[in-house]
Structure 1
Amino acid sequence: MQACHNSRDVAYRLPYGAVQQGESVALSIDLWDAQGAIVRLRTWTAESGERIYPMDAVVELHGAVRHKVELAFDGAGIVWYHFIIQMADGRVLRYGACDGKTGGEGRLYDWEPPSFQLTVCDPNGIAPSRDEDDLRRSQSMLGPVADFLLGRISAPELAEMIEALRENYPDETFRHALAFLEGMDDDRLLGLFSGLPESELTLNDGGPLVLDDHHAGIAKGRLWCASLLQMLSPAGTRQTESCPVVHTDRDCQAIFDNARDLRETLPLFMDGTFSCFAANEDVLGFWRRGADGTSACVLVNGSLQNAHDVFVPMTGEAVSEVIGGYDVPVCDASELDGRVDAPPKAQRYARVRLSQIGSAVVYFHPTQRLQLPMDAGLGVLAHITSLPVSKNPNAPEASDKADAGRTAPAASEKAEAERDPSGVPDKNPGTLGAPAREFVDWLAQAGARYWQVLPVNPTDEYGSPYAGISAFAGNTRLLERPSAPDTGDAADRDPDAYRRFCTREADWLEPYAAFMAIRQKLAATSDVEPLPWQDWPNAYRSFDPSVIQADPELREHAERCRRAQFEFEQQWDDLRRYANARGVLIVGDMPIYVSADSADVWANPELFQLEPDGRPAAVAGCPPDAFAEEGQLWGNPVYNWDALRESGYDWWLRRLQRAFRLYDFVRLDHFIGFSRYYRIPKGKPATEGNYCPGPGADLFRTAYEQFGPLPVIAEDLGSITPAVRALAAACGFPGMDVVQFADGNDPLSGWRPRPAKVAYTGTHDNQTLVGYVRKRYPDLDCQAAVDRLMRDVVTCEAPVAVLPLQDLMGLDDDARMNTPGTSQGNWTWQADRQALRQTGATLHALVDMRNASLEA
């Protein structure tokens, strides 16, 4: 005969956990191969002593007969119970808790067994305590968690303590017990987790804590593990804005911020179910399961000596590890070869590697989430301004220079003000027409699948497309002028299409046209650079269509602007159709922030954190790090995400819709800003900023509801946190992995992209691959090293790989597109036509190599 009762499973005890006085609770036990058995429930309380309750055989379940009883208890207290089973032959067995436990799955005994515990609370929800040790544990689990991480107790012992608390105390008491880090300052936590005797520590009372690097590193590693155990459990954090915890140690601040951000990124950590277990003597784990069918397994290895492979049952179609972002192999149960203690209960398992004092958060989810999948293939990164173009249609082709590159004039804002008010260049032909089509032909002939460009919106005064005066408008500097001067513009050639365009895009087009009209008018009366809108006369300080209509000059300027934007739309649509017809998809780019002096901020001030005069109350940037000791101050106004959320993210949805209309896929720049953004108060240095929560997946779920699967690539480069990885995993967006950013900064030692990434040799912000190799490996053969890295990217397992045009052409840093932190000499590189043609064979060979690796 076999029997099963699990007091921590609602199939056997409902409701789970402590019950209220007078509340009914259903208790069940399953029996196999026990025909004719009679089952009774024995209870014992200090107040009423022993009672026996008959149990009814109610249902056969998977070959078992379930025996069930429902009862209620009048008084608060501890109820002990076990089951008495009388077999048909008269033999009596008992089923109780396993030795040393008061809950969970039990076992059969031939004698009086240990009993299960059931707690009955009084009308105020107060649970009685069995003893002083139990009471102390209910107040805080800090001691047991520290003992586990310091190797004093095992993972099974800690798991049993946590599950016993969950089973026997009200939810509020349980959450309070797991909020064990609250109220502890950094010095005391680091001293506790260092493992050093208190006699060797100097704490706050006698001065700051001093730890050597070794013990400080171990202490912070353990603190990270402890923070996950608290923040991702039902306890979360009790910190409030009125009573914040001030962290004096920068690493401690980052530990708590990262754990808290991760909790807030995935809803299952806020309201999902919870169950704790021990994977082995060293590894503690717990499950959180969400109402949407997703689940996460949090694992912590408390050992300083042992690394472990942990096999976690697959509870979803796909799996992502969000702490380190590494690949999680999936194996069938038949492949386990006895590497798990219990018999397999699932068909597939995720294999998680845990280093000493290591942690993992294994997130299970559907394969298809919010993303539009990308077809496998090779792509080339080249902005439209980098394409070769002659100064006039009759000019000879540029000579084949050894460096295969030249520079083009920057599209500065000052130059824009000196041009035709329509915004169309009056001197040099742009690259949006024939030059772009020639480049598409070059890509298609080689078999390339993607062409990635930089933002095509207007640029700033330095030519940067990442800080222009509109997030919606097209850069009319890119337009190709017709060869015949009397051809007219697109609005004249197709007035009906022009009217439809103005109606469809009115939400951004009208404010932009008004902004540019006022800007043009004021610039005509000033000898200085265009004034920012915050310094305009009061009549122009906000968007008012009646002001434009009342002024003939403004009406004329605004109409020219609309017509120029329609011209851009027509030429861009022609180019995209041309590319798509030849099997080439265009990947665009969307900066997360806009300029303070932009039509977007001018027309929508309520969506940004501004002062009454329209200037930023806070700006974006990043904190101090190894690359910038004083941090970075970008100057862009940060969003008022509360206002955006209340509006249903209307402005952002319109911005995404515009991008989806222009491009086949969109790279979201600075994806970390959607998880959390760095806010620097007005007039303060970057060192005085702080992180604030972004919209998270809520924005993208809202976009998905409106647009369906989202054609998005997440630019998740830099100091990426677990919360950012979790956000990308929840949305399904592929991230970016650049060979120059390889772990350990030695990609020649063997480079593989992390899972769910688009692979790159570089971006517009990096050195060229040749420049990188010459600096990183000065003693190696440069060409051989470049070829090796190029081959590793092209043949890697990422479905999509992208190569900057400069890398394809083998150019050094003279051809670099942008150097972050500098304002001069960027955005001007332009390819040599003859050298580009000669590079076609190289691209063709790399495409063949890519296709062969994908088929292997």
Structure 2
Amino acid sequence: MSQFERASGVLLHVTSLPSPYGVGDLGRGAYRFVDFLVQSGQRIWQLLPIGPTIQCESPYSCYSAFAGNPVLISPELLVADGFLPSGALQHIENSDESPRQADFVHARNIKNELLRESFEFFLGQAGCSELDEFEAFCTTHKWWLDDFSLFAALMQHFGNDDWCSWPTELVTRDSAALGRWREQLSKEVEYEQYVQYLFFQQWNKLKAYAAANRVQLFGDMPIFVAHGSADVWANQEVFCLDEGGKSTVVAGVPPDYFSKTGQLWGNPLYNWKALEQTDYRWWTNRFRMAFQLYDILRIDHFRGFEAYWEVPADAKTAVNGKWAPGPGKAPFDAARRALGELPIVAEDLGMITEAVHELREQLGFPGMRVLQFGFDSADDLFHRPESYPENSAAYTGTHDNSTIVGWLKEREGRAAGEDILQGYLEDPIRSGMPYHWQLISMVLRSPSDLAIIPLQDILGLDDDSRMNVPGKAHGNWGWRYEASQLTQELIDRLKIITIASDRESVPMVAEAIH
């Protein structure tokens, strides 16, 4: 039996929101997007990971599994909430020459400057109650924030995240040395704590606004973490590392149709035996934090809990890896004992075995069904909408796929009778529905309890607006929409299809922040 009610929503990362500061953030654009979801009958906002990114702006490569990304903090709300003086934004230039493409460099430069100014302003102006609130935040989050803030300060000090190259006393985490460095970098450590305080202030207010409007936030958790992260540095005993802190084996994907050498991800692998001895405490803490941030959680690369591709750390490709057994359901059982039921969707795409499906079914988690995958061959019924089980999450595509319009364009050259999809589509003039809306309707009308549509598909955009191309190192994650694109006509069309699919939400009840 599914733990989710029948509902639908939209996939959109925070950075894709409109904002005058280079990338989307937690400010007014986010609140207006919640309004759009409610007005169009949607009950779910699915996001990509919101951690602080390390490289290529990928939300799947972060230097903390617990912290928030400072670039998502809204300068406008810092002023509105009294964390910056009223005139602080007057000198900031709006460089959104291309508002449909994120400018991460510009955004980071602006926000680093403003966050530093906010920190000094706070220290100089905060009263006892404000200081007590900040201290209470640091105390509540001490279990991860202490290590993170020191790690972030050390990254700033040494100019890199390769903690194996730092002084040996830091690599081995000598307690006396950690104390000395924490004292030496005390101002920077406090600044990092303050930035997280601001992030969580803004995030919690947005989450409360979404909840008041009956919109659930659907987060995303990568199974692996980056080596250059506070997580690995502070918890070396639960990862496969040598005495110098370097990975002995790393994660990847075996050779397949798409790549003769496989994919070498490079993330350190977990020492599951060591985690078992702690009753999987690190994972339970990770789930605990996730469900403070989100209402629903997607676990990326769920198949790694059944078995994962283990590659020697010195390998140049993933060819010489091997399958290694994962921990199965044990980490989830441990988390359930501590946290109760886990509203999780398992990403079970790619090279999935029957054992992976069995594990997912034992745990009761919905899997994913992606319409685009259902028409790659005439007998590929697994991802065909009419065959979706109720306990599943259905998509037209994910952040890794072409947009639905881009996907349709790729198929245009196929002759009549060669494309099984043609039997599912009607002439747009006769049906009154463009092809991409017919496919969206297919997913919404499917038996799946959850149906999620990327905003690019709702807007009818081609692959110029694609979010990510797997294997492409640069040029991803940059797409943004403009507020003017969310027209009343679009809202009405989406709501009509949603009502017809029995997925309509309740009316909006909270007052928007405009």
TM bucket normalised to smaller: 0.7 to 0.9
The equivalent position to 2:167 in structure 1, one of 521, 537, 547, is 537
Summarize the Cα distance change of 1:384–1:753 in structure 2 as closer, same or farther, 3 Å threshold: farther
Query: Take 1:760 and 1:813, find their aligned partners in 2: how far apart are those partners?
Result: 17
Question: Whole-Å Cα distance in 2 between the matches of residues 852 and 697 of structure 1?
Answer: 31
In 1, are the aligned partners of 2:437 and 2:458 still within 8 Å (CA)?
Answer: no
Q: Structure 1 residues 381, 643: CA separation in 2 closer, same or farther (over 3 Å shift)? A: same
Determine helix, strand or coil for the equivalent of 1:597.
Answer: coil
Paired residue for 2:15, among 385, 402, 421?
Answer: 385
1:654 aligns with 2:285: yes
What is the Cα deviation at residue 848 of structure 1?
A: 1.8
Aligned partners of 1:777 and 1:794: how far apart in 2?
24
Report what 2:466 is aligned to.
Answer: 816
Deviation of the 1:835 alpha carbon: 0.8
Letter aligned with residue 452 of structure 2: V
Alignment check: 8 A CA contact 2:12 2:45 kept: yes
Contact 1:679 1:691 in 2 (8 A): yes
Give 1:834 deviation, angstroms: 0.4
In the comparison of the two structures, how many residue pairs are matched? 442
Structure 2: unaligned runs, 5 residues or longer: 87-117, 415-421, 506-514
* Structure 2 residue aligned with 1:443: 37
With 707-716 and 488-497 compared, the bigger mean Cα shift is at 488-497
TM-superposition CA deviations, 1:78-135 (whole Å, max 9, x none): xxxxxxxxxxxxxxxxxxxxxxxxxxxxxxxxxxxxxxxxxxxxxxxxxxxxxxxxxx
Greater strand proportion: 1
Alignment map for 1:276-315 (pairs within 5 Å): none
The secondary structure found in structure 2 opposite 1:540 is: helix
- The aligned amino acid for 2:437 is D
For the pair 1:453 / 2:47, whether they are aligned, the reply is yes
Q: CA, structure 1 residues 688+847, in 2 after alignment: closer, same or farther (shift >3 Å)?
A: same
Tell me what 2:103 maps to: none
Question: 1:700 deviation in Å?
Answer: 0.9
Indicate which of 26, 30, 35 corresponds to 1:432: 26
SS, match of residue 454 in structure 1:
coil
Q: CA deviation at 1:568?
A: 0.8
**The one of 484, 489, 492 aligned to 1:841:** 492
Counterpart Cα distance in 2 of 1:677 and 1:813: 31
Q: TM-score, normalised by structure 2?
A: 0.81
Deviations 1:742-783 (A, max 9, x none): 165468996324322111011101100001111024457797
Q: Which amino acid aligns with 2:365?
A: F
1:432/1:479 contact within 8 Å kept: yes
* Correspondent of 1:580 among 205, 211, 220: 211
Query: Are 1:471 and 2:471 counterparts?
Result: no
Query: 1:459 Cα deviation (Å)?
Result: 1.1
**Separation in structure 1 between the aligned mates of residue 372 and residue 457 of structure 2, nearest angstrom:** 12
Q: Is the 8 A contact 2:306 2:326 kept in 1?
A: yes
Counterpart of 2:386 in 1: which secondary structure?
Answer: coil
2-side partners of 1:452 and 1:618: how far apart? 32
Structure 1 position 836, deviation (Å): 2.3
User: Which residue, out of 388, 406, 411, partners 1:754?
Assistant: 388
Which among 445, 448, 463 is matched to residue 795 of structure 1? 445
Say yes or no: does 1:511 pair with 2:147. yes
Preserved CA contact (<8 Å) 1:379 1:451: yes
1:724 aligns with 2:318: no
| C-alpha distance in structure 2 between counterparts of 1:745 and 1:654, whole Å | 42
Is the Cα contact below 8 Å between 2:55 and 2:61 reproduced in 1?
no
Residue of structure 2 in register with 1:26 after alignment: none
Q: 1: CA distance between counterparts of 2:454 and 2:161? A: 36
Q: Which residue of 1 aligns with 2:302?
A: 671
Does residue 687 of the first structure (1) align with residue 338 of the second (2)? no
For residues 301 and 29 of structure 2, what CA distance do their matches in structure 1 show? 30
Tell me which amino acid in the other structure corresponds to 1:768: T
Q: Is the 8 A contact 1:467 1:593 kept in 2?
A: no
Distance in 1 of aligned mates of 2:176 and 2:305: 36
Post-superposition offset of 1:537: 1.8
CA RMSD of aligned residues (A): 2.3
CA distance in 1, matches of 2:450, 2:161: 44
Higher relative contact order (CA 8 A, sep 6+): 2
How far residue 687 of structure 1 moved from its aligned partner, in angstroms, is 1.5
> Quick check: 1:766 aligned with 2:396?
no
Q: What is the SS of the residue equivalent to 1:678? A: strand
> CA offset at residue 453 of structure 1?
0.3
The match for 1:123 is none
Percent identical pairs in the alignment equals 41
Q: Is the 8 A contact 2:498 2:504 kept in 1?
A: no
Supply the AA of the counterpart residue of 1:843: L
Q: Is 1:497–2:133 an aligned residue pair? A: yes
For 2:174 and 2:459, how far apart are their aligned partners in 1?
Answer: 50
Residue 538 (structure 1) shift: 1.8
What residue ranges of structure 1 are gaps of 5+ in the alignment?
Answer: 1-366, 392-407, 410-429, 524-529
Cα shift readout 1:795-839 (whole Å, capped 9, x = no counterpart) = 111111000010011000000000000111101111111012353
Q: Deviation string for 1:374-408 (max 9, x for gaps)?
A: 221111000000011124xxxxxxxxxxxxxxxx5
Matched, 1:486 2:85: yes
Q: Does structure 2 retain, via aligned residues, the 8 Å contact 1:449–1:585?
A: yes
TM-aligned CA deviation for residue 477 of structure 1: 0.6
Against the structure 1 CA distance between its residues 700 and 577, is the aligned structure 2 distance closer, same or farther, given a 3 Å change threshold?
Answer: same
Q: Is the 8 A contact 2:401 2:468 kept in 1?
A: yes
Alignment of 1:69-148 (within 5 A): none
Closer, same or farther in 2 for the Cα pair 1:595/1:696, shift >3 Å? same
CA pair 509-542 structure 1, distance change in 2 beyond 3 A: farther
SS of aligned partner of 1:752: helix
Larger Rg: 1
What is the CA-CA distance between 1:711 and the residue it aligns to? 1.2
The structure with more helix, counted as a fraction of residues: 2
Counterpart code for 2:136: R
Q: Which runs of 4+ in 1 moved over 6 A?
A: 747-750, 780-783
Is the alpha carbon distance of 1:852 and 1:829 closer, same or farther for their aligned partners in structure 2, counting shifts above 3 Å? closer
Cα 1:728/1:544, change in 2 over 3 Å: same
Q: Deviations over 1:206-246 (max 9, x none)?
A: xxxxxxxxxxxxxxxxxxxxxxxxxxxxxxxxxxxxxxxxx
Match of residue 594 from structure 1: 225
AA at the equivalent of 2:408: V
TM-superposed CA distance for 1:541, in Å, is 1.7
**817 and 753 in structure 1: CA distance in 2 versus 1, 3 angstrom threshold:** farther
